[in-house]
Amino acid sequence: MNIHRKMFHSGHLYLDIDDCEVDTLLPSVFETLMAQEGKPLQVGVSSDRSRLVALLRQSGFELKRRCYEMDVTASDLAVPLPERPQCLATACAGTAAYDSCVEKMYRHYLDTHSAVNPLTCPQEAFYGVLLQSGTYEEGYPDICTTACMRP
């Protein structure tokens, strides 16, 4: 079992558990870890790993979030995309547009993680891991969408 911490989410302790370890772990291991560290434990697990899911449930873990992965196209949408031209632009560090983009990303990350695993790092640390440029969609009166993508 690999135990690690995350810079952005210091309120939890993270576990990676291999399938070969499932039959040898006892619920008391998780209780001991929580007592020693004084932090909740978190495990990301695919639903097809039924033995691990059973062990976690037996050990008192609660399902807090479901994540889904799928491939979709615009034709799969229930409501078509609006007929408007996309106004894509590039924002580089040191510009007002970049500052607006990273603020929007920070707020989104903060909001989407608050219920399960709140962000614990300073805003500057979050900004420090972002790329120095990004793409954004301009919309009236603000930036609608923003992304930092690696080439």
Residue of 46, 12, 17 lying closest to 116 (CA atoms): 12
Return the structure tokens found at 140.
Answer: 């009236």
Separation of alpha carbons 81 and 71, rounded Å: 17
- Per-residue confidence of the chain (151 residues) as pLDDT tens digits? 999 999 899 999 999 999 999 999 999 999 999 999 999 999 999 988 999 999 999 999 999 888 888 888 888 888 887 776 677 888 888 999 889 888 988 998 899 888 888 899 999 899 888 888 888 887 655 667 777 665 5
Spans of all domains in the chain: 2-58, 83-147
Q: Is 113 within 8 Å of 12 (Cβ atoms)?
A: no
Amino acid residing at 84: R
